[in-house]
Structure 1
């Protein structure tokens, strides 16, 4: 009995020690975050695919705004916080990575009637212009290639934070990016207009400094 109680107490102590370490790491990370965008390091960054999400949302027969996401994102950012006109952003996402809450729908969206992932495996955004719109915001215009068609798109970028990631020790900068596209402009016409034409994009983008 005494051994059992000791084991429980030992396990409890270990749990709180681990939780305390996690809390301390989180607190340290929070205190080290660069909150002023002008203090962020300039340079070349690569997308952190493990902590970057591309979410999309579209009206589903007028009943709901249905969402899904893409993963395994890649890309780069040439960052100049003093002169945002010099910034260059590239984002690439594999169409096969698309996910929704329905397995059937996920597979259907990869078919020729929708994204046609086999024929057009990658969507790519390449910036052509960056304009500062506030102390921590900018509009980035570029060319989006999707479903074999290239169209200009403007993304709205908001700075979130920067600093050394306490887990992998990489200097990281993060942004929240939003935008809208019309899927019909890219030849994705299935169920228009019952399933909405306008698609909302919401991207949580983390970049790790490369040089």
Structure 2
């Protein structure tokens, strides 16, 4: 989920211009980065939740985009469900049994540019203490100088689908869908 986050490298990879001597660091704009997750609830409705305010960075190698990297992390307990009882259930032993310091993290392992404004970002997602490889379908929205901050900025979206049971979170499947769809939208700024 969290899977965070992750498409920042794609935005920068897709906008490569002149070769840089070394990787350039970008950091996520936590106030404008979200991960929305959704799942089918018993066939009656689609339930939604979100992670927001997470942190991450991109090391962008313009001369060799495949050598770029993305890392993102967030506390499990930063999840927003919109209903206190649902949040409590998600943090219970039925699902996460989350501690205050338990994190969700994503670390890229490969970036494949697939078009003028698209890429696939493969990485290791650690969720509920289990690490699995996931692939994000990423799309560059825009790159350029931020009109208020006055420095390089990039925005992008990404999607993927996770299988809850892969992360020992499969309680009530298949009645509550085992598949969870992620929609990621983030902004990243060149680090000072």
1:77 maps to: 58
For the structure 1 residues 76 and 208, does the alpha-carbon distance in structure 2 shift closer, same or farther, using more than 3 Å as the test?
Answer: same
Structure 1 runs of 4+ off > 4 angstroms? 39-42
Which residue, out of 100, 104, 107, partners 2:81? 100
1:127 maps to: 108
1:24 maps to: none
**Structural mapping, 1:14-25, within 5 Å:** none
Residue 47 (str. 1) matches residue 33 (str. 2): no
Which residue, out of 143, 146, 162, partners 1:181? 162
For the structure 1 residues 189 and 119, does the alpha-carbon distance in structure 2 shift closer, same or farther, using more than 3 Å as the test?
Answer: farther
2:15 maps to: 37
Question: Secondary structure of the equivalent of 1:67?
Answer: strand
Q: How far 1:67 moved relative to its partner?
A: 1.0
2:129 maps to: 148
Residue 190 (str. 1) matches residue 190 (str. 2): no
Which residue, out of 108, 128, 145, partners 1:164? 145
- Give the Cα separation in 2 of the matches to 1:46 and 1:127: 15
Q: How far 1:170 moved relative to its partner?
A: 3.9
* Conserved? CA contact 1:37–1:161, under 8 Å: no
* Conserved? CA contact 2:75–2:101, under 8 Å: no
Question: Secondary structure of the equivalent of 1:166?
Answer: coil
Question: Secondary structure of the equivalent of 1:162?
Answer: strand
* Conserved? CA contact 1:71–1:94, under 8 Å: no
2:9 maps to: none
1:200 maps to: 181
Structure 1 vs Structure 2 CA RMSD: 2.1
Stretches of structure 2 lacking an aligned partner (at least 5 in a row): 1-13
2:91 maps to: 110
- Give the Cα separation in 1 of the matches to 2:189 and 2:98: 28
Relative CO higher for 1 or 2, CA cutoff 8 Å, sep ≥ 6?
A: 2
Q: How far 1:44 moved relative to its partner?
A: 1.1
- TM-score, normalised to structure 1, is 0.76
Q: How far 1:107 moved relative to its partner?
A: 2.3
* Conserved? CA contact 2:120–2:137, under 8 Å: yes
Stretches of structure 1 lacking an aligned partner (at least 5 in a row): 1-35
Q: How far 1:175 moved relative to its partner?
A: 1.1
* Conserved? CA contact 1:57–1:199, under 8 Å: yes
Structure 1 or 2: larger helix share? 1
Larger radius of gyration: 1
